[in-house]
Chain A
Amino acid sequence: MRPSPIRLLNILVPVKRAVDYAVKIRVNPQQTGIDTNVKHSMNPFDEIAVEEAVRLRERLKEKVTGITAVTIGPAKASETLRTALALGADQAIHVETQADAPAPEPLGIAKALQKVVERINGGSGQKEPVDLVILGKQAIDDDAGQTGQMLAGLLNWAQATYASKIEVDTEAREATVVREIDGGTEELRCRLPLIVTTDLRLNEPRYASLQNIMKAKKKPMQKLSPADLGVDLAPRIETVKVSEPPKRMGGQKVADVDELVARLREAGITGVA
């Protein structure tokens, strides 16, 4: 099916523009969401995903035919794609949504990504189909952690969630992935095509150099609309309200260890050994 006997790898990296992880968020007075007039950046887990794609190319050299970053979001999300390009992606696809549209659900995003994959894989211009998709394990805004698994389900591909180590054998069309699980790690052997979601442990993302940021401006970015992909991104779960979590009455200090022990005893906590 493939045009050449050399086994190659074409990587897709979906990224999301999210409120910066260091921002202390505020719920808006209407309780419809949070104040989004704050610093945004690439979802940290997605930075790890981009970094891993770039490192795979550094290891596998020309066996990696391409790294495509994709985002589904409003006009401003193209900044996030530029960041991905500056970090080493070759090209980008922006599925642009209306600025005032409600945030799509993971299922909607997964459907859009499925269409993007099918579009690339079915297209005549593309020599190599996508056979590895690397996503973050969760976005730090909605904390859902579903998109990768949903995409794997829709494409019926293998999935390796919470990856902390990825090794790809392009000849055998296989990947060995170590994943973080409750209580330790699990090693999986997966056939390509494969969906991987990244854990924090996978790597430490690099900073984009000024030179690469400049270069990224010249890299191709394709614009698509949800309609081009034939997907409906309207959420099916209604957000009734967004509220502040209950405040904790913390902030009490004790003078010394004796007072701390007394506080613990008061709460019924004593030594057991």
Chain B
Amino acid sequence: MLGLRSVAVRRALSRSYASAAAPHALVFLEHTRGVIEPSSLSALSAAQKLGGQVTGLVVGAPGDVEKAVGQAKKLPGLTSVWHASSSQYANIVPEVVSPLLGKLLSDAHPSFTHVVSAHSASARSILPRVAAQLDAPAISDITSLEHNAEANSTTFERPIYAGNAVATVRAPASVPLKFFTVRPTAFTAAAPDEGYEAAVQAVDPVEVTDSPAQHVQYNLTKSDRPDLATASRVVSGGRALKNAETFAATMYPLADVLGAAVGASRAAVDAGYADNSLQVGQTGKVVAPELYMAVGISGAIQHLAGMKDSKLIVAINKDPDAPIFQVADAGLVADLYQAVPELIEKLKK
């Protein structure tokens, strides 16, 4: 009797192991008017590391979706590209797109094992909502991952406490659907291959009539400079820039000479020197460019959280004891109003 039962248990276990061997990720591919976001390309690279099939999902307005799918199907990391287009997805709100994600994740055969997106403002508003509705926990802002196909468990690393500690966490087999968002700077963006062609499949949108939340308008900061999150060079200004005028007059020429994006510390943003969307730090953007130049930034814990993985950190500050100098590869103790114009002149040569 006992022996029989243990055999049955073992058989059941081995069956579940066999069926769990193949991870299948759904990657939520974000796009702006049909142009796939670089951060989603990094999320795709993370999904590929699971070692299984990867399905990309493009959701948006008709016209935009076709454009995005045209790019997505050239990405060798994707086994297939699913797309849902509807005018209701023109400006995505979580209440409208969640039912579609919920349906795809519940109905898919064979079922998905992972749901992946960039840790972007939009995706990180949507994914936890869907995860909770499917009774699945979620893991935010991962910087590395490793999948164990045999145990059907995935181990992630993610920063906690503003990046002052790294947590290694494991989503075991008992979590059949593993949601996670990816820190874009931790993974190289997936590159297209013109010769590649992923399978493309349309999925029906889930019509949401009378959504409790409606998009009214965007108010986006226009800039000809590179996007802060993905720029290879960033120059950032802090409180020492005094006001919006001196911030612009000092930082923009420096950004231009380096071809860099402009960032700011929380102090500079709070004081109105720069737009909120330029904030670098725990509560703003996390960047990891080739060059991060901090000008007049003291280097609070919360700011360091957003930039300390940059390759080369340069700091210009007149306070020799500013904490930013502890992480700077090249620190210059000087008055920024003299040093920055001089630097611009010398970089032009």
- Chain A complexes with chain B: yes
- A interface list, Cβ under 8 A from B: 19, 21-22, 24-25, 27, 34, 105-107, 110, 137-138, 140-147, 149-154, 156-162, 164, 176, 180-191, 194, 199-201, 235-245, 248-254, 256-258, 260-261, 263-264, 267, 269-273
Q: Is the CB of A244 within 8 A of B166?
A: yes
Q: Is the CB of A245 within 8 A of B166?
A: yes
Q: Given A237-B139, A239-B169, A273-B348, decide whether A19 and B161 contact each other with a Cβ distance below 8 A.
A: yes
Docked complex Cα distance between A56 and B311 (Å): 45
Q: Is the CB of A248 within 8 A of B216?
A: no
Q: Which of B46-54, B59-67, B92-100 contacts A (4 or more CB under 8 A)?
A: B92-100
Q: Is the CB of A150 within 8 A of B129?
A: yes
Q: Is the CB of B132 within 8 A of A25?
A: no
Q: Given A252-B328, A269-B258, decide whether A183 and B220 contact each other with a Cβ distance below 8 A.
A: yes
Question: 1/0 per position for B326-349, CB-CB distance to A under 8 A?
Answer: 111111111000010011001111
User: Is B283's CB within 8 Å of the partner chain A?
Assistant: yes
- Partner pick for B277 among A184, A235, A236, A272, CB 8 A cutoff: A184
Q: Is the CB of A250 within 8 A of B325?
A: yes
Query: 12 interchain pairs (CB within 8 A)?
Result: A34-B165, A141-B160, A143-B141, A149-B128, A158-B213, A185-B220, A189-B213, A236-B175, A252-B329, A260-B330, A260-B332, A261-B343
Question: 1/0 per position for B150-173, CB-CB distance to A under 8 A?
Answer: 000001001111111111111110
Q: Which of B79-87, B103-111, B119-127, B236-244 contacts A (4 or more CB under 8 A)?
A: B119-127
Q: Is the CB of B347 within 8 A of A154?
A: no
Minimal Cβ-Cβ distance residue in B for A157: B212
Q: Is the CB of B121 within 8 A of A180?
A: yes
Q: Is the interface of A mostly helix, strand, loop or mixed?
A: mixed
Q: Is the CB of B159 within 8 A of A245?
A: yes
Docked complex Cα distance between A249 and B327 (Å): 7
Minimal beta-carbon separation of A256 from chain B (angstroms): 7
A residues less than 8 Å from B231 (CB atoms) = none
- Partner pick for A248 among B227, B308, B343, B348, CB 8 A cutoff: B308
A residues less than 8 Å from B136 (CB atoms) = 107
B residues less than 8 Å from A194 (CB atoms) = 212
Q: Is the CB of B172 within 8 A of A238?
A: yes
Q: Given A24-B301, A248-B308, A250-B313, decide whether A190 and B212 contact each other with a Cβ distance below 8 A.
A: yes
- Known contacts A238-B172, A260-B316, A264-B312; 11 additional CB pairs below 8 A are A107-B136, A140-B161, A154-B133, A182-B285, A185-B276, A187-B218, A190-B213, A245-B166, A248-B313, A260-B339, A261-B343
Q: Is the CB of A240 within 8 A of B155?
A: yes
Docked complex Cα distance between A185 and B311 (Å): 30
Minimal beta-carbon separation of A126 from chain B (angstroms): 22
